[in-house]
Chains A and B, each alone.
Chain A
Amino acid sequence: MAQAASIGGEQHGPQGFWTKYVFSQDHKIIAMQYSSTAILVGVLGMVMSWVIRLQLGFPGQFDFISPSTYYQTITLHGMIMVVYLLTALLLGGFGNYFIPLMIGARDMAFPYLNMLSYWFYFLSVIVLLASFFVPGGPTGAGWTLYPPQSITAGTPGSGMGILVMLTSLVIFIVATTMGGLNYITTVLQLRAKGMTLMRMPLTVWGVFVASIIALLAFPALFVGGVMLLLDRVVGSSFFMPAVVSLGQQLDYKGGSPLLFQHLFWYFGHPEVYIVALPAFGLASDIISCHARKPIFGYRMMVWAIVAIGGISFTVWAHHMFVSGMNPYFGFFFASTTLVIAIPTAIKVYNWVLTLWGGSIRLVTPMLFAIGFVSTFLVGGLTGLFLGNVVVDIPLTDTYFVIAHFHLVMGVSAIMAIFAGIYQWFPKITGRMLSEGLGRLHFWVTFIGVYALFFPMHYLGFLGVPRRYFAYEGVNFIPPSAAGLNVFISVAALVTGAAQLVLLFNLAWSVFKGKKAEDNPWQATTLEWQTPHTPPRHGNWGAELPVVNRWAYDYSVPGAPQDYLPQNYETPAEQPQRAST
């Protein structure tokens, strides 16, 4: 394995177009490749959410939305957003860019493996998109792909679509494993001199622990996916019980659909934290920087991340309360679900206490970071409702759950991603994003997501079931629900359209944006202290940085400026070296 990271001195990166931009081993280029692919596929996922809302708000008005199309759309929307957008963007994109820069390394530990990781991810996306063009179209089994219906005739895409979907997931897992090995090894072994673990920015902590979770969780999905493939292709009965389908007895017998659910959610719940922990980290760093205050309770924040990572492996069956289980198991999983709220609540308190009394700059990244805390808090509180078995059972198949998980892991993660984009765009491109467009983007998005998801809690209490294509003849749903659905759909269309402002802002600012200084936000972390903006191949010029302090020295009493970069030496620290 080539270890570019170990070569000292000014780095001369590859000069050819192909090795520099396409098959690049530079973590910054790979980060851009991961991010742009994820954002492209994410735009597709967003357009799919429009299709879903068009049907729900205006049923029967759009001929191109058949029941099959609808189910295929909700399936692919979920899968794309959770796996191919959020996981890939936060670990592959943000993780790749920030880990070496924030810990003071020249690159990842295994640059070649890093490149392979991206290309496997790219392949998984191609295979995923291919499912639109196979006979029968993509799978419409819901993003959880539960057997038996995911591979039984009658479900859209139960022929080729599900095969292509599972193949894509298996390839994605290979990509994530290569990435995760890299991120963990790099954080543990390649930190600059003085960068102790307890001096690392929380963004690095978030990505680090999320990578560990990913390595421990994805193998379960891998095993489940391969076994489901075998059930589908060769006709084994790992998960398939005896089934009569369309009047015919199938050859399957004796398998356990519940077994798949366990394997799926053993991956699926930690997956929530694979997405959330990096978002926690980004929000922490941005809030501290723009409140000009040290993050409140840094050690607690680190231990909360580690605790959440550990507990996340003990809560998965709360997704399966309605699948039926021993009441003692239900009690256990309800308890662990409530316990995981404790470290999570600590984090929310610490963000708020960091804001308290700070000299807050309400620039766009800060607005989005606060938007993250807000949506995460609101979405997280309904998680406490749903963690209780007796509340979960009536609500689980309603829009209440849609509202809950979209706010807590969809919207909040996207808010943190936006905050990250606005915060670090100047370092990545050397130009500032337009602040005016940024604020417009924030306010429409922030108000939009509440207009969109808040009423869904109410729909859930009315008992409006999720996953339904249409509600005609469902007597217990009052007509007012249809009106609310129109409102939600309009809000969704507007909120989605507001994302075009971001895309325009990105495209315009890359070329025409105001030139950025090296450290426009006066931030302390190492990535802002690079000798060049954007950082060049090898990141640090001739000498690696030496770290003297933690990542949150804002407003230090008696300091010459209101922040001290991590590699700053106070006059008191300097003489020892000068005398040697």
Chain B
Amino acid sequence: MNVSAGWGAFRLSASKLGLWLFMAVVTILFSALISAYVVRMGLPDWRALPEPGVLWFNTALLVLSSVALQWSRGQSALHELRGVWVGALLGLLFVLGQFWAWAQLYALGYFVTSNPSSSFFYLITALHGLHLVGGLGAWVWVGVRAKSGSSKDRFLANVALCTTYWHFLLLVWLVLFALMLLT
């Protein structure tokens, strides 16, 4: 991507640098949330939460979604959109699966206010889900732009950006899931 005639500090496109900065911001956001979680956990009224089993299934969906997108990144030289759509669909299923997890938890009698651990569960999954939904929006945008004939280079760059963000959200989810499993 032609950035400018300027002197870049990094040999990256501006969009790529912008994305990395954004991922840094999201990292801080979830770090602040995790520290709050750990502090609140230390207080006497904390009760451990039984994690809904469907979370394992959801995690598998998100991993597959990332794999599909990574695959489409390799394929996109051929303007192959299938991987993008499969990945986005799996991502959407993950988000729906998270709602299912909420329903399971709700059925077990854990509401947002039942215990700080369940409050955190709903908050953490919601914030992570919102970031995923934003990512899905970006995927749709890339797909629409490709249909309306953006340049091949631009398309490849966009797919690469979205894939990076997707892997990042998978990583964030694994950390959050591990945190909830371990506590």
Contacts and interface: CB of A to CB of B under 8 A. Distances in A.
Closest 8 CB pairs between A and B? A254-B45, A219-B29, A236-B119, A109-B14, A189-B8, A188-B9, A219-B28, A223-B32
Contacts, number: 141
A172 to B, nearest CB: 15
Contacts of B25: 177, 180-181, 215-216, 219
Interface in B29-43: 29, 32-33, 36, 39-40, 43
B176 to A, nearest CB: 13
Interface in A1-50: 1, 3, 5-6, 8
A193 B113 contact: no
B112 interface: yes
Given A181-B18, A220-B32, A237-B113, 7 more contacts: A1-B18, A106-B4, A113-B18, A186-B14, A216-B28, A254-B45, A544-B6
Contacts of B45: 237, 253-254
Interface residues of B, number: 38
A158 B82 CA distance: 51
Interface in B13-29: 14-15, 17-18, 21-22, 24-26, 28-29
B148 interface: no
B178 interface: no
9 contacts: A5-B14, A109-B14, A181-B18, A193-B7, A215-B24, A224-B36, A237-B45, A259-B40, A544-B6
Interface string A247-271: 0000101111001001100100000
Nearest to B15: A1
A239 to B, nearest CB: 9
Interface of B: 1-10, 12, 14-15, 17-18, 21-22, 24-26, 28-29, 32-33, 36, 39-40, 43-46, 112-113, 116, 119-120, 123, 127
Contacts of B32: 219-220, 222-224, 263, 266
A177 B25 CA distance: 8
A76 interface: no
A197 interface: yes
Contacts of A177: 22, 25
A185 B46 CA distance: 42
A347 B74 CA distance: 51
Interface string A200-242: 0000000000000001100110111011001000111110000
